[in-house]
Amino acid sequence: MEYIIVGLGNPGEEYTHTRHNIGRMVVEALQERWKTSDWRDDKKLRAKISQGAVSGCKVTLVLPDNYMNRSGGSIAPLIKTKKQLERLIVVHDDIDIGLGAMRIVCNRGSGGHRGVLSIERALKTQAYVRVRIGVVPTTPTGKLKKPRGEDKVYDFILKKLTKKEVEAIQGVVAHAAKAVEVLVLEGQARAMQDFNGVIKK
């Protein structure tokens, strides 16, 4: 049994510590947590790959080096069977969820996320697991403080985080990494029960 775990984001220093790269941050955290192999560049996939095992379960970690809207090109060559599709986990940011919360879903639409849409098109299916990580601040009553308009959304997700925001995001990243570990070791139902909607302060 082998899981393929993908962290969506944009390559390049200018995108480090942006909200749109939180999926990438989670998979980088998993590489450290699980002590998998050093990252290697796979020129064919246009991705960084790290492999190893957690509690005897094989894992392949993938960071696409394509830009977000071309992520599918790095993933499709890895998924050749239904079994591989069932063990694909894609981790990404979501502006429809408050910061500190997440949703583990399967067989759901992209919600307009271009990286997810690219993967759906490349695989010709939505039937894989996604870990959607909230990146939008909320009011004290829990209402999303979501930017309005496409330009403002792009500015929001691609803007560098402040030092204080980076510290807040690190807690969310660690929480999401635990969720992925539960997905791999204990299954989707347990992970959804333990992590869906739970706020990490």
Query: Is 83 exposed, middle or buried, given 0-12, 13-18 or 19+ CB atoms closer than 10 A?
Result: exposed
Residues with catalytic function:
20
Reported as a single tens digit per residue, the pLDDT across 58-107 is 999 999 999 898 999 999 999 999 999 999 999 999 999 988 899 999 98
Reported as a single tens digit per residue, the pLDDT across 39-71 is 999 999 999 999 999 999 999 999 999 989 899
pLDDT category of residue 110 using cuts at 50, 70 and 90? confident
What the block records as the tokens of 150 is 């496409």
Cα–Cα distance for residue pair 101/10, rounded to 1 Å: 22
CATH number of 2-195: 3.40.50.1470
pTM summary value: 0.94
Domain ranges of the chain: 2-195
- pLDDT: is 165 or 184 the higher one? 184
